[in-house]
Every structure is written in structure tokens, then in C-alpha cells.
Structure 1
Amino acid sequence: MDVNFRLQPINGEIVIVEDEPLLRELMREILSEVGAQCVAFSTADDALVHMLTSDTQCALIIADHGLPGQVQGAEMVELVRGRWPETPSVITSGWAESFIGLPPGTHFLAKPWTLEELVMAVANLLQPGVPPTETSVDTPKQ
């Protein structure tokens, strides 16, 4: 996977919640590649337990809305905001955002999204107004 830019350093980890294993790993890998520390879970239940017991601050939540377990993506965001109100969030879904009932201030990323859309959503929430740093690729001079 080749990404052309990097994020500025992020204080804390990105919590990814996605029940599809390949998509979950892709999200974790691409965000790690652009400089983010990530942890990934298949259920919101597991992610919430991690957040409540971890010493590491959560910088951002990215959650699929339709998840197995007791808690859906939008519900997880509301629970997290109740305890950590400043935590930004992204909900991803193939469903229309109007059917989900997104919590206020939550960014919606419609599936299927591109890798660039994912990275830009993260950059815009964590570093508004700061464009990701372009990584230079040496090209021969003519």
C-alpha cells in the first residue's frame, strides 16, 4: 500500500471498530502507515472495554454502524461522548446516514469509501486546517 502523505503526530490512539476482518485490517494498516497509532476491534462492546481499561487516550473513534454485539456504531459514539465529550468520531456504513441517527458532530463516511477519503476524514477531524504532509518521492530530473 502506497500512501503519499503522513499525518502530524497524534496524541493518543485511533480506535477502529469494524466487523469485517479484511476491512478492519485495511483501516488499521493504512492509518498506521500515515503515522497513527491504532487498535482495532470487531465489536463496539470490546472497544468500549478497551477504552475503559486502557491508559492510552483515545484520539478518535472510527466505527462501522452495523456491528454484532449489544452496541451499534452510533450508540458507541454516544456512550463515549458521555464520558469523553471531546472525542471526535467517524461512523462508516453502507446505509444512508439519515437512517442511522448520527450523534451531533459525527462525521459520516459512506461505504464504499476510498483510502484517501478515510485518511482525509481522520486528518480533518484531528488536524483541522493542517494538510497532511506530502512524502517526497525522488524523481529523476530531466
Structure 2
Amino acid sequence: MGQRIEPDRVALIVEDDFEVRGLAAALLEETDLAVVETASAEEAMDYLRQHAAEVAFLFADVRLPSLMDGLDLVRTVRHEWPWVRTVLTSGGPLNDRRGEVPRDVRIMPKPWRALDVLMEAEKAAQSSRHH
């Protein structure tokens, strides 16, 4: 039996809705990235503080159930860990907060399309190989 090579790059999902998070995880497990799921920005930050070097892709919802929302999270990640390819998802319009989204963050409205998510994850996996 051949040994399974564990991926050394991670897709970090930040979504408080259990079903949506599970759907994103199932999708991202089809890529070369290992999948880590978190339900809040704080959980994601805890993970990043310890494992940021392994994270290639961040897939975060704007609305999160705590002091720090998804927009705060992606702004922090782009500043602290600029190599992490970042996608922000939203079920509603960002309106007055759109100007707060960093230029290089992709905004994906919900319901997102599986192919769009996979393409972003694949770009992250490709670029992380050169990181």
C-alpha cells in the first residue's frame, strides 16, 4: 500500500453556519489543500497565530458571531500574512463597508458557485508552491 502524502498547505474556512461550512469543506477537500474549519474570526486567528506559514487560502464569511467579523479578519490577514489568498463571502450587500475590503481580496456573493471556489483554491495551491 502506498503512503498518502499529507498536504502541507491549508485552506482555512471561517463560517458560522454549520451546513455552509460543511459544504465548503467538502468542496475544498477535492483540492490539494488540507481543510481546517473554524466558526469564528477569533478561532481563525488562534489557528493562524500558530500555523500561518501553512495557510494558503482563507475562505471567510463577512457575518460572524463575535466581536471580530469576516471583514476585520481578512484585513488583519492581508496585513499580517500577505501570502494568504483570501476570499470573502457575503449573503447580503457590503454597501458602506465595501471600501474597507482590501484590493486583493475577492468578494464572492452567496450562494457561491462551487467552480468559483475551486478556482480560487487552485490558484492558492499553485502560488503556495512557490511561496
User: TM > 0.5 between the two?
Assistant: yes
The corresponding residue for 1:131 is: none
Deviations 1:51-105 (A, max 9, x none): 1023751101110001111111111011112221222200000122444321121
What number of residue pairs does the alignment pair up? 120
CA distance in structure 2 between the aligned counterparts of 1:81 and 1:99, rounded to whole angstroms: 20
Indicate if the aligned counterparts of 1:80 and 1:87 stay in contact, CA closer than 8 A: yes
Which amino acid in the other structure matches residue 14 of structure 2? Answer: V
Asked if 1:114 corresponds to 2:113, the answer is yes
Structure 1: gaps (5+ residues) = 1-9, 129-142
Asked if 1:79 corresponds to 2:76, the answer is yes
CA distance in structure 2 between the aligned counterparts of 1:105 and 1:38, rounded to whole angstroms: 22
Q: 1:116 to 1:55 in 2, by over 3 A?
A: closer
Superposition pairs for residues 44-83 of structure 1, below 5 Å?
A: 44-54=41-51, 57-83=54-80
Q: 1:98 to 1:123 in 2, by over 3 A?
A: farther
CA RMSD of aligned residues (A): 2.2
The structure with the larger Rg is 1
TM-score (norm 2): 0.80
Deviations 1:86-135 (A, max 9, x none): 2220000012244432112100111011211211232245437xxxxxxx
SS of equivalent to 2:112: coil
Greater helix share, structure number: 2
The corresponding residue for 1:25 is: 22
SS of equivalent to 2:29: helix
Which amino acid in the other structure matches residue 116 of structure 1? Answer: L
The corresponding residue for 1:139 is: none
Q: 1:11 to 1:100 in 2, by over 3 A?
A: farther
Indicate if the aligned counterparts of 1:13 and 1:56 stay in contact, CA closer than 8 A: no
Indicate if the aligned counterparts of 1:74 and 1:103 stay in contact, CA closer than 8 A: no
